[in-house]
Amino acid sequence: MNPYFLDHLKRRTFLENSFTGIGAVALAGLLGRQESLGAPSGIPEAKSGTGILGEKRHRPVKVKRVIHLCMAGGQSHLESFDYKPKLAELDGKPMPASFTKGQQLAQLQKQAGKLKCMGPQFEFTKSGKSGQEISNVFPHLQKVADEIAIIRSMQTEQINHDPAHTFMNTGSIIPGRPSMGAWVNYGIGSEAEDLPGYVVLTSEGGGQGQPISSRQWSSGWLPSQYQGVQFQSKGDAVHYVANPPGVSRDAQGELVDSVNKMNRLFGKTRHDPEIEGRIAQYEMAFKMQASVPGLMDVSAEKPETLERYGCQPGDGSYAANCLLARRLAERGVRFIQLYHRGWDHHGGIKANFEKTANLVDQGTAALIRDLKDRGMLEDTLIIFGGEFGRTPMAQGSGRDHHINAFSMFLCGGGVNGGVTHGATDELGYAAMEDPVHVHDLHATMLHLLGIDHLRLTYRFQGRDFRLTDVFGHLIKPVLA
Amino acid sequence: MKQLVRTIVLSDSYAQSSQNSPELEERDPYNRLLARQRGIRLPAELIRDNALTVSGLLNPEIGGRSVKPYQPAGYYQHLNFPRRKYAEDLNENQYRRGLYTHWQRTFLHPSMKAFDAPAREECTMVRESSSTPLQALVLLNDPSFVEAAKALAAESEDILDMFERALTRRPTAAEVAVLEELLASEESRFAADAEAVGQLLGVGMKGVSADQRSQLAAKTSVARGILNLQETITRY
């Protein structure tokens, strides 16, 4: 990669001469544009933890936080939320060429011309009062069918894992742009004073665990205080969270304070935007030393709660991460992202999809119910789904990557539970009715947070960038 | 290739100072004309090497088997399989360069991971250079860095000496004032708490022989501060 490109990323923004706090960094990019951002006239409040929009929002605030449950690897829509009886009929028969002619395929490209259909591997049941069709390998999700809005007509632009995740997170296939969690924290800050506003947890199992790069939760050219922080899902959530022996909390506090003073003095002569970020990170680290032990102490959780999630706290499972997600949500973390790596079912999809589904089904449903019981579902947005879908064509005993159609669901405040939106063609190959693009998902997410996606911008390299770039439409039918 | 590298590193552009100025920032915010260098945070391994070097702990031995620096207890119980035990090296191998740190497949040492060392799951052409609170926790609390601070404190005459060893420049008067204030406060804290002195000086496998133990503990705190500075972990 061109090092100057990286250099540009690091420069982030035009900086004012003085360093008067991280807010000044953000402010520099905003000068003269407060109006379009809807910020109050004069200087936006710069205190840490407040986004540039402050308390002001463009839209009614439906949700305070987002929990993104990422089914990494590419969950098959045909085995989860998009039942295709016609595909079952054609199982083992040639895929009609009209579907695939001239289309970009992933690993199946070399077999073009010899493609065969693979029928859905599981039965589906019309679930809940709404009668949404959900695969029988998700018995727990079937029970919350009336809470979730299924989108069957998702489309993306990238056919390989890493760029597809990049696209899902940043709205761009070019690495280096801010992740949606960073955008949200930049826009409206976090309510968590002593935890990062954007926390990431990962788990794996049930299939090939494709790697996830920490670049996926990067703040790109936004100030680095907005970047996602990955917690360990096993053992201590955060390593080195305890002071060294013989060092009290007061002493540690004084030390951190001295380090920040020294960095500030240095920053005055250096004009390096990284220094302000470093100071903010030391402040957060010190706060986390007090907050993380409490976050992880689940001894006060009722046994029924643990049973509902079906996990032992801290066992590294997806379900344990779901429980942790609820605890993070309670503490005001703005954007929580869980990746379950295990959906890349190129082969053995029948057995392996079921395994992976077993690992996420109960935890996901438990999280929805738990939030609902606590009155938190109404101000939480849950986004569930992978970075792309899988082909209706067989790849041996599995399915290949597929971008023309996949399914996701939304759940929570401002979302019409029990609605199925959009439809694919009779074989589940392409989104035919109401296609929903990744940009539309982003626009809708921001809308529910009270943000107009057209008006949350950041100037970089002479251009006002948005999470939705120059795209994005609200998915109105799923909005309550 | 060698010639290309030579040409690059001997060029005036490569030798530009990283000292930025408001004028340069305004005239060329993205440094297209290369009138300056930019600060580059050291990679994970070198952050460790740097702390070991300035404290005099570094064992410069080259090659050989991987080594096992201090690691949080129980970290390996989260390996999927097979069961492995991590036995820290309690000899001079403790102070080898970061390059030689044992790497259990994709399960890398947590302090390396915090500073963006890749898990080697995929080819990495350019490492991330993030800035997170987890990095602050490593530099503040990882016993490798606490022990390095203790050694730096024991090796140095005073805080000026400590500062120069770490940053190869003299501190400004304002910087000295901050460090002296910290030192004075730590001195009074440790003078009144012999137990805390013993605990802090007990970090790491190397003992220290000092008459004025509480004084050394206070200096260790200042050294911890110095090892945590942005300037210490950045190549300017």
pLDDT at A20 over 50: no
Measure the CA–CA gap between B60 and B96, rounded to whole angstroms: 6
pLDDT at A21 over 80: no
Report the C-alpha dihedral over residues A306, A309, A313, A317, rounded to 10 degrees: 160
Q: How far is CA A33 from the centre of its chain?
A: 28
* Contact flag B128-A271 (C-beta cutoff 8 Å): no
B143 lies in some domain: yes
* Contact flag B39-A258 (C-beta cutoff 8 Å): no
Low-confidence ranges of chain B (pLDDT < 70): 78-81, 121
Residues of A whose CB is below 8 A from B131: 224, 227, 274, 277-278, 281
Give the model confidence (pLDDT) of A396-424 as tens digits.
Answer: 999 999 999 999 999 999 999 999 999 99
- How many CB atoms neighbour CB B87 within 10 A? 9
The pair of three-digit structure tokens given for residue A196, joined into one six-digit string: 């990062």
The pair of three-digit structure tokens given for residue A210, joined into one six-digit string: 């494709």
- Region A75-103: mean pLDDT is 94
B46 lies in some domain: no
Question: In the 8-state DSSP scheme, what is residue A457?
Answer: -
Measure the CA–CA gap between A460 and A8, rounded to whole angstroms: 9
Give the model confidence (pLDDT) of A437-446 as tens digits.
Answer: 999 999 999 9
Assembly ipTM: 0.94
How much is the pLDDT for A5?
Answer: 40
Cβ-based neighbours of B84, under 8 Å, separated by 6 or more: B76, B104
Q: Is A406 helix (H, G, I), strand (E, B) or coil?
A: strand
The nearest CA of chain B is from the CA of A274 a distance in Å of 8
Distances in Å between the Cα of A143 and the Cα atoms of A134, A137, A368, A418, A437 are 10, 12, 11, 11, 28
Element (H, E) at B139: helix B133-141
How much is the pLDDT for B78?
Answer: 64
Nearest to A417 by CA among A450, A462, A377, A472: A377
Measure the CA–CA gap between B189 and B151, rounded to whole angstroms: 20
B201 lies in some domain: yes
* Contact flag A258-B178 (C-beta cutoff 8 Å): yes
Compare CB distances from A242 to B135, B141, B196 and report the shortest one's residue.
B141
Question: In the 8-state DSSP scheme, what is residue A462?
Answer: T
* Contact flag A278-B230 (C-beta cutoff 8 Å): yes
B197 lies in some domain: yes
B29 lies in some domain: yes
First CA to last CA distance, chain B: 26
How much is the pLDDT for A406?
Answer: 98
| pLDDT band of A31, cuts 50, 70, 90 | very low
The nearest CA of chain B is from the CA of A200 a distance in Å of 13
- Are the C-beta atoms of residues A253 and B155 closer than 8 Å to each other? no
* Contact flag A238-B19 (C-beta cutoff 8 Å): no
pLDDT at A9 over 60: no
- Are the C-beta atoms of residues A55 and A475 closer than 8 Å to each other? no
Compare CB distances from A234 to B78, B134, B228 and report the shortest one's residue.
B78
Compare CB distances from A211 to B122, B137, B199 and report the shortest one's residue.
B122
Compare CB distances from A258 to B72, B75, B182 and report the shortest one's residue.
B182
Give the model confidence (pLDDT) of A204-238 as tens digits.
Answer: 998 877 778 878 998 888 877 788 999 988 777 88
Tokens 């140095």 — which residue?
B156
Report the C-alpha dihedral over residues A324, A326, A331, A333, rounded to 10 degrees: 90
B109 lies in some domain: no
What percentage of chain A has pLDDT greater than the value 70? Answer: 90
Residue of B112, B131, B220, B229 to mutate, interface with A, max A Cβ within 10 Å: B131
- In the chain, the amino acid numbered B146 is V
B160 lies in some domain: yes
Element (H, E) at A168: helix A161-170
Measure the CA–CA gap between B216 and B206, rounded to whole angstroms: 14
User: Across-strand partners of A393?
Assistant: A117
* Contact flag A258-B225 (C-beta cutoff 8 Å): yes
* Domains recognised in chain A with CATH numbers: 48-241+302-478 (3.40.720.10)
pLDDT at A13 over 60: no
Measure the CA–CA gap between A85 and A424, rounded to whole angstroms: 12
Cβ-based neighbours of B64, under 8 Å, separated by 6 or more: B100
- How many CB atoms neighbour CB A4 within 10 A? 13
Residues of A whose CB is below 8 A from B234: 272, 274
A38 vs A122: which has the higher pLDDT: A122
* Contact flag A246-B198 (C-beta cutoff 8 Å): yes
- Region A105-110: mean pLDDT is 85
* Contact flag B230-A256 (C-beta cutoff 8 Å): no
Report the C-alpha dihedral over residues B208, B209, B214, B217, rounded to 10 degrees: -20
Full domain range(s) for residue B181: 136-235
pLDDT at A100 over 80: yes
The pair of three-digit structure tokens given for residue A131, joined into one six-digit string: 């009668």
User: What total of structural domains would you count in chain B?
Assistant: 2
Question: In the 8-state DSSP scheme, what is residue A243?
Answer: P
- Are the C-beta atoms of residues A178 and A314 closer than 8 Å to each other? no
Measure the CA–CA gap between A388 and A400, rounded to whole angstroms: 10
- How many CB atoms neighbour CB B66 within 10 A? 13
Distances in Å between the Cα of B216 and the Cα atoms of A19, B160, B176 are 35, 15, 18
B77 lies in some domain: no
How much is the pLDDT for B29?
Answer: 74
Lowest mean per-residue pLDDT among A40-54, A246-260, A293-307? A40-54
Measure the CA–CA gap between A255 and A201, rounded to whole angstroms: 30
Cβ-based neighbours of B124, under 8 Å, separated by 6 or more: B118
In total, the C-beta contacts within 8 angstroms joining chain A to chain B are 190
Compare CB distances from B134 to A238, A252, A274 and report the shortest one's residue.
A238
- Region A295-314: mean pLDDT is 88
How much is the pLDDT for A300?
Answer: 85
Measure the CA–CA gap between A467 and A441, rounded to whole angstroms: 11
B224 to chain A: closest CA residue: A255
What rounded mean pLDDT belongs to chain A? 88
Measure the CA–CA gap between A263 and A180, rounded to whole angstroms: 29
| pLDDT band of A39, cuts 50, 70, 90 | very low
A285 to chain B: closest CA residue: B133
Give the model confidence (pLDDT) of A348-386 as tens digits.
Answer: 999 999 999 999 999 999 999 999 999 999 999 999 999
Measure the CA–CA gap between A351 and A209, rounded to whole angstroms: 16
How much is the pLDDT for A467?
Answer: 97
Question: In the 8-state DSSP scheme, what is residue A428?
Answer: S
How much is the pLDDT for B81?
Answer: 63
A39 vs B126: which has the higher pLDDT: B126
